[in-house]
A and B are shown apart, each in its own frame.
Chain A
Amino acid sequence: MISYDSIKKLSADLYDWSLKKIPEDTKSRLDEALKHETGENARKVLNFMIKSSKLAEEKERFLCSDAGVPVYSVKIGSQANFEGDIKRAFVEGFDELVKRIDPPLLKFVQNPLTNERSFKGKDMPIISWDIVDGAEYIDITCSPKALGSGRWAALDIFVYPTLEDIERFIMKTVIKAGSQHCPPVMIGVGIGGSFDHAAKMAKMSTLRKLGTENPEPILADMEKRLLKAINKTGFGPMGQGGDTTALGIHIDYSAGHGFTPIAVCFNCWINRRTRARIHNSEKIERLE
């Protein structure tokens, strides 16, 4: 039986870990980028990024002063047994983290109607829920979101778009964001479905592991071509000019009707993301 306290603690731990270590796949991409980057300043910036993230991991320091707001994706196994109010466990997990985390957090939860900031707010943490048939665990991914990269996401609705129309919209969104979202970025795209579903697919795509092949051949090809094109825009690491504007681009799609929403979103280079499964035995399996 998965206890209320275990979910609470794990949700807080996942947020804590995400602030102090970049994911392994992201590290590899940064190392790879450094090998191929031709810009002199770009290489210096990449070096500084790699060095700083190593230091953050070793000394348990924050990667960024902006911890963003807590965002989770939770998948509940249909065979998972848990007790207590699972939603409240995340809310209280965040409350406890605020009290115990070292170094302490700044206030980032903002009420958009009053612009007041605190550690609490309506719908915080932001959680999307899903079910995994047959599984006896709860799978939790934490990916905090901050203004720096959150601000540049875009969604537009098209009618019967061609592949070129889709790629044009993605490229325009990338160029509009330019140097501002702490590149090299991780890009997520959702095509089709409905307004909300496209946005969710874009977000979930940023969580897919770098280096994994898209199962849909049209999208696998699109991802490869777009990554090349985006890295030819020239913005480079932190917009200092160079060949590394994106670490990766992942695209998902859904069947829909004739109207086709296309959503594009970004993660900054630290690509904060942690993931774990908690089994019915209460064993915790770290996946990221």
Chain B
Amino acid sequence: MNKTHHLSVPFLPNDLEVLEIGDLVFLSGEIIVTVGLPTHERMRNYLVSGKALPMNFENNILCQVGCYVEEKNGMMQSRYINPSTSTRFEPYLPEIIEGTGIKAIGGKGGVGPKTIKAMKKHGCIYLSFIGGASALTSDAVKEVLDIKWNDFIMQFRLIKLRIEKLGPLNVGVDTKGNCLYTDLQTQAQDNFEDLMQELNQNRRV
């Protein structure tokens, strides 16, 4: 039976160890979002060269989530958010996890093997958003707290948001390195020949 958890970000020590793949999570607090490949690349380059990042990622979550920020009456507000495919950030995520003290990655579709290894080592988890459900997901955003690296196009900037009950997010990778996506992929590949046999047997024409 999968459990549902309500967590605050930044996470507290021991918050994440109890989570298991398939559990659902609702987040409140602060999250950092960007869908920029060049943003992830710059983050990695900063970490490698010992340069300070413009936001504190410790115990936080970095989400591969696109966000449209609009300025109205001098206030920044989010018009909508939604996740992007996380596997394309595989070249950068392991070093980002290693170097920032981040405790969760959010996105959709799962992460690659090197990222899972780094997650296990650093007690980090992966949370999957529901793609295409921007209308409901965006309601959780209450405030735009900070924007950095404005030289990028909007969705590539680092954007810090205050959110309330963001979710349901699904635990795709837990702190022990268990991965829902790897399990399902293995299962599908193991069943492949059986499915082919069934396809052949039932062919009518």
Contact = CB atoms under 8 A, between A and B. Distances in A.
Contacts of A63: 132-135
B177 interface: no
A82 to B, nearest CB: 35
A104 B135 contact: no
Contacts of A40: 1-2
A105 to B, nearest CB: 8
B203 interface: yes
Nearest to B86: A180
* A contact residues, range: 35 or more
B155 A41 contact: no
Nearest to A242: B184
B73 to A, nearest CB: 17
Contacts of B131: 64, 148, 182, 238, 268-269
A168 interface: yes
Interface in B141-199: 153-155, 168, 170, 180-181, 184-185, 187-189, 191-192, 195-196, 198-199
Interface in B72-99: 79-82, 84-85, 87-88
A268 B66 CA distance: 17
B16 to A, nearest CB: 19
A270 B134 CA distance: 11
Contact of B170 (A61, A117, A148, A238): A238
Given A107-B154, A234-B187, A239-B109, A48 B130 contact: yes
Nearest to A233: B188
Contacts, number: 176
Nearest to B109: A180
B168 A235 contact: no
Interface in A90-143: 103-104, 106-107, 115, 117
B25 to A, nearest CB: 12
Interface stretch (A52-60, A188-196, A202-210): A52-60
Contacts of B155: 65, 106-107
Nearest to B22: A41
Given A225-B203, A234-B188, A148 B134 contact: no
Contacts of A235: 184, 188
Contact of B181 (A66, A115, A178): A178
B200 to A, nearest CB: 6
Contacts of A66: 66, 82, 84
Nearest to B128: A238
A41 B85 contact: no
B116 to A, nearest CB: 14
A148 to B, nearest CB: 6
A52 B154 contact: no
Contacts of B24: 41, 44
Contacts of B154: 106-107
A49 interface: yes
Given A62-B80, A239-B109, A178 B195 contact: no
Contacts of A164: 196, 199-200
A98 B38 CA distance: 24
Interface in A49-84: 49, 51-53, 55-56, 59, 61-66
A61 B138 contact: yes
A65 to B, nearest CB: 3
Contact of B184 (A62, A168, A239): A239
A147 interface: yes
Given A48-B133, A164-B196, A178-B188, A103 B68 contact: yes
Nearest to A172: B192
Contacts of B153: 106-107, 117
Interface string B1-21: 110000000000000000000
B35 to A, nearest CB: 8
22 contacts: A40-B1, A40-B2, A48-B136, A55-B136, A65-B65, A65-B80, A106-B68, A107-B154, A148-B108, A151-B85, A178-B185, A179-B110, A179-B184, A180-B85, A220-B205, A225-B202, A229-B198, A232-B195, A238-B131, A240-B22, A240-B128, A269-B131
The 6 closest A-B pairs by CB, nearest first: A65-B82, A52-B133, A180-B109, A52-B136, A56-B135, A182-B131
Given A52-B133, A240-B170, 7 more contacts: A40-B1, A179-B110, A221-B203, A221-B205, A225-B198, A238-B108, A241-B184
